[in-house]
Amino acid sequence: MVSETVTADNAAQILSVVSGILVPGGFGDLGIEGKIQAIRYARENNIPFLGLCLGMQLSIVEFARDVIGYDDAHSVELKPDTTHPVIHLMPDQ
- pLDDT (tens place) for every residue of the chain, 93 residues total: 789 999 999 999 999 999 999 999 888 889 999 999 999 999 999 999 999 999 999 999 999 999 999 999 999 999 999 999 999 988 887
What pLDDT does 57 receive? Answer: 96
Whole-structure pTM value: 0.92
DSSP class per residue in the chain: --GGG--TTTHHHHHTT-S-EEE---SSSTTHHHHHHHHHHHHHTT--EEE-THHHHHHHHHHIIIII--TT-EETTT-TT-SSEEE---TT-
What pLDDT does 29 receive? Answer: 87
What pLDDT does 10 receive? Answer: 96
What pLDDT does 91 receive? Answer: 82
